[in-house]
Structure 1
Amino acid sequence: MIDVKMWGRALNQMPKLSQHEWQALDPVARWLIACRASVLFMTFTAAALGGLMAWRAGFFQWDLWLATVLGLMFAHATNNLLNDYTDSRRGIDKDNYYRNQYGVHVLEDGLMDEGEFWRYLGITAGIALLLGGWLIYQRSGLTLDLMLAGAFFVLFYTWPLKYYGMGEPAVLLVWGPLMVGGSYYVLAGQWSWDVTWLSLVFALGPTTVLFGKHTDKLEADKGKGVNTLPVILGETRSRDSVLIMIAAQYLLCLALVAGGSFGWPLLLVLANLPNLPGLLRIYGQPKPAAAPENFPDGIWPLWFSAFAFRHTRQFTTLFLLGLVADTLIG
């Protein structure tokens, strides 16, 4: 039976489900939960940003944009599935590891056998490849290179990049120049350095979320031999790094306006400044040993990443509104 309500829940969070609840789900709901669809909004936003910049420059085409956004989202979903499979096979996600505590892990929780998992993964990756192939046929040029770069990160983010402190820089590159700049290129047929710099403003958001998550599970990762950048830097420097990246988002917006690349509406992001003192307090001290009484259910043991995620949503909303306003005024 189709459960649209569960679709919405899976798109909004990573729910924990019993075996009985899982068995009652329709295939779409299972796919949305298995691939952690709640984080796909960041990929959609990246493609939307590239599309907006192409529209601003007079190059927008609906068919190319829809193929781009769907291809990127299915590629991201493929990466999430491969991430879970790789970490499960390497023994990282065993023994109530962080990944199992804040959401369903279909393999570790015994909700899917490997055969069913690979069918979901094959269909997801197949759709991404078909859409990417069609875009290469339509655009050629750098499109193949961009797709190959994306495939590299899909296949090798979990291992070895994440294990050797390269996962966080990879996210900055993927959600910035590769996704936003690449979406613009597919639509416009040319590269734009203004769009590239703008893409970094957006990409710093997902990077702070990942940095926060890896800081949350720093000790667990260290014990498993997963040397993320926060493991290498330590908690204090990692917390400081997130604050530096958040500050860089606002400073880059100021620089883009001062340099004349974009107009004053981009400064709408400054409306989020009143929320920063609370974020500074959170990142100014170590993670608490247990969730505070008023902390929302279903999020702990995520702490730093939860607050980075909330800031990213607030900032990105204002950022996109400012860009739309600037485009319409221009």
Structure 2
Amino acid sequence: MVDLKIWAQALDRMPKLSHAEWQQLDPVARWLIACRASVLFMTFTAAALGGLLAWRAGAFQLDLWLATVIGLVFAHATNNLLNDYTDSRRGIDRDNYYRNQYGVHVLEDGLMSGPDFWRYVGVTAGIALLLGGWLVVQRSGLTLDLMLAGAFFVLFYTWPLKYYGLGEPAVLLVWGPLMVGGTYYVLVGQWSWDVTWLSLVFALGPTTVIFGKHTDKLEADRAKGVHTLPVMIGERAARASIAAMLIAQYLLCVGLVIAGRFQWPLLLALGGLAMAPDLLRALRQPKPAAPPADYAADVWPLWFSAWAFRHTRRFTSFFLIGLILDTILA
């Protein structure tokens, strides 16, 4: 039976479910939970940003944009599924690893059989490939190159990139120039360096989240032999890196306005500063050994990533409002 409440929960967070509860779910709810749909909003936002900038350039086409945004969302979902498979197959997600503590892991929790899991992967990846192929036929040029670059990160982000300190730079590249700039290119037909710089403002948000997540599980990753960037540079430097990226988001916005690339409404992104002190305060100290009394139980053991996630949502909201107003004025 379709349960829209479960759909909403899966889109908002990663719920924990028993075997009996899983069996009651409809196929869409199972897909949303298996592919960690709560983080797909960042991909949708990246494609929406590229679409807005194309509209600003007078070249928005609804059919191309819909194909792009759906293709990107399904490509991201495919990556999440393959991420879980790869880490499960390599033994990383065993023994109550971080991934199992804050959300359902359909393979490690025994909720989905191998054949069922690969059917989900096949349908999800198939939709992404079909839409990507259609866009290549429609737009040609760099579209095939962008699609191949995206496929590379879908297939190889988990291994070897994440395992050797390249996962975090990959996130910055994918959610910035590749997704935002790529969406703009598909709609407009030409590359824009102004769009590329603006895309980095947005992409720094998801990068702080993944950097925070890898800092949260630094010791667990080190024990498992996963050499993420925080593992390589240490927790103190990792916390400083997150703070630097947060500050860079605001400085880039100010810089783009001063340079005359965008107008004053972009400065509305500074509204995110209201939540920045909380994140910066958390980053000044090592992760606590136990959650504070008022901390959400279903979020722990995530700490730095949870603070970064909340800030990113707030910053992105103000950033998009400012860009929309700037576009109207332009």
Equivalent in the alignment of 2:263 = 263
1:26 equivalent in structure 2: 26
Distance 2:25 2:275 in 1: 38
Equivalent position amino acid for 1:20 in 2: A
Task: Indicate yes or no: 2:117 matched with 1:89.
Answer: no
The Cα shift of 1:158 comes to 0.2
CA distance in 2, matches of 1:179, 1:55: 16
> 1:145-202 CA deviation, whole Å, 9 max, x = no partner?
0000000000000000000000000000000000000000000000000000000000
- d(CA) in 2 for partners of 1:185 and 1:24? 43
Could you state the TM-score of these two structures normalised by the residue count of structure 2? Answer: 0.99
Identity in percent: 77
Q: Which amino acid aligns with 1:200?
A: L
Match of 1:150 in 2: 150
1:39 match: 39
**Deviation of residue 277 (structure 1)?**
2.1
Instruction: Give TM-score scaled by structure 1 length.
Output: 0.99
Amino acid of the structure 2 residue aligned with 1:275: M
Matched, 1:111 2:145: no
Alignment of 1:25-174 (within 5 A): 25-174=25-174
The equivalent residue for 1:216 is 216
1:7 aligns with 2:45: no
Superposition deviation, residue 270 in structure 1: 1.5
Distance in 2, matches of 1:70 and 1:306, equals 26
CA distance in 2: counterparts of 1:132 and 1:275, whole angstroms: 37
Structure 2: unaligned runs, 5 residues or longer: none
Aligned equivalents of 2:139, 2:105: Cα separation in 1: 38
Q: Deviations 1:257-285 (Å, cap 9, x if unpaired)?
A: 00111000000011222322222210000
Rounded to whole Å, the distance in 2 between the matches of 1:53 and 1:269 is: 16
Distance 2:210 2:7 in 1: 24
**Unpaired runs of at least 5, structure 1:** none
Q: How many residues align?
A: 330
Distance in 1 between residues matched to 2:64 and 2:114, nearest whole Å: 34
Calculate the aligned-residue CA RMSD, in Å: 0.5
User: Is 1:318 the equivalent of 2:318?
Assistant: yes
Moved over 6 A (4+): none
The letter for the 2-side match of 1:19 is H
Q: Deviations over 1:218-247 (max 9, x none)?
A: 000000000000000100000000000000
Question: C-alpha distance in 1, partners of 2:279/2:116?
Answer: 42
Q: Secondary structure at the match of 2:106?
A: coil
How far the C-alpha of 1:4 sits from its partner, in A, is: 1.0
Cα drift, residue 65 of structure 1: 0.2
Question: Following the alignment from structure 2 to structure 1, what is the Cα–Cα distance between the partners of residues 278 and 37?
Answer: 28
Q: Distance in 1 between matches of 2:165 and 2:143?
A: 28
State the alpha-carbon separation in 1 of the partners of residues 209 and 282 from structure 2: 14
